[in-house]
Amino acid sequence: MSLSAYDVIFYLKELTGEKILILERTGLKVTEALERLERFVSKCKKCPLSKTRTNVVFGSGNPLTGFLIVGEAPGQEEDKRGLPFVGRAGKKLDEIMRRAGIRREGVYITNTIKCRPPMNRDPEENELKSCFPYLEKQIEILKPRVIVALGRYASYVLTGKKISVKRERGIVYEYGNSKVVITIHPSRVLKNPEEEENLYNDLVLAKKVYLSGHP
Ligand code: URA
Ligand code: SF4
């Protein structure tokens, strides 16, 4: 199945609410490839987090718009439900996205690490290394125009550098053919509400980068 111009407009409308024409995508293939990968990852035992998780949190959302958001790792609620950003940080993210004119239904969201670290501790180097091939593959399938990296772990795996998010937020990096916008994690905004405008501004920037790629 190839998408008609009508479908394409629809997907962009899903993301931003605006009507602009772009992309040629084969929707069915993307969905199928993603489902196949998800079935595989849901049984993964490559790192010790497989022993403590309830569910693998593979990712969810719209795989066709080319707008990907990458968080850190599932928290308690995400682990319980098998879905990304459905807890407090997720609500905050939804709220800021809405304000930036980006619809949750229009983006695909996943994490750097697919299983919850016990007590939400920071991911360890071996876990980041074991799990990265899955994100890599997701990116290969989704071919995102823009990737928003939330926080230091997503920024680390996507840029290959241990960067200071505080210093480098808002900088646009490249990962393959995708632009990567580095920004702070919504959990940080929950602890430091004065940081909310930074996350908001970076999401506005990501949307601008996304739209500027269109003819
Ligand atoms: N924080 C994350 O980084 N990811 C989630 O899915 C939830 C909270
Ligand atoms: Fe596998 Fe990643 Fe889960 Fe580790 S965190 S068990 S590598 S899916």
Nearest listed ligand to the Cα of residue 38 = 2
Summarize the confidence of residues 187-200 as an average pLDDT.
97
Kindly give, in sequence order, each residue whose CB lies less than 8 Å from that of residue 211, ignoring residues fewer than 6 positions away: 16, 18, 20
- Of residues 3 and 146, the one with the higher pLDDT is 146
String of DSSP letters for 14-26: HHHS---------
**Atom in ligand 1 nearest the alpha carbon of residue 187:** 1
Confidence of residue 64 (pLDDT cuts 50, 70, 90): confident
Tokens of 191: 């602890």
Cβ-in-10-Å burial (0-12, 13-18, 19+) of 121 comes to exposed
CB atoms within 10 A of CB 98: 11
Q: Is 114 in the pocket of ligand 2 (CB under 6 A)?
A: yes
- Residue 128, amino acid: L
- pLDDT, tens digit, 9 for 90 and up, residues 127-137: 999 999 999 99
Confidence of residue 31 (pLDDT cuts 50, 70, 90): confident
Whether residue 177 is predicted with pLDDT greater than 90 in this model: the reply is yes
The pTM (predicted TM-score) of the whole model is: 0.89
Among 41, 45, 49, the mutation site with the greatest number of ligand 2 atoms within 8 A of its Cβ is 49
- pLDDT, tens digit, 9 for 90 and up, residues 65-106: 899 999 999 999 999 999 999 999 999 999 999 999 999 989
**Atom in ligand 1 nearest the alpha carbon of residue 78:** 6
Q: At what angle do helices 125-142 and 27-41 cross, to 10 degrees?
A: 160
- Of residues 6 and 52, the one with the higher pLDDT is 52
Tokens of 42: 């849901």
pLDDT computed for residue 8 by the predictor: 56
Q: Is 47 in the pocket of ligand 2 (CB under 6 A)?
A: yes
Among 53, 79, 110, 113, the mutation site with the greatest number of ligand 2 atoms within 8 A of its Cβ is 113
pLDDT computed for residue 30 by the predictor: 85
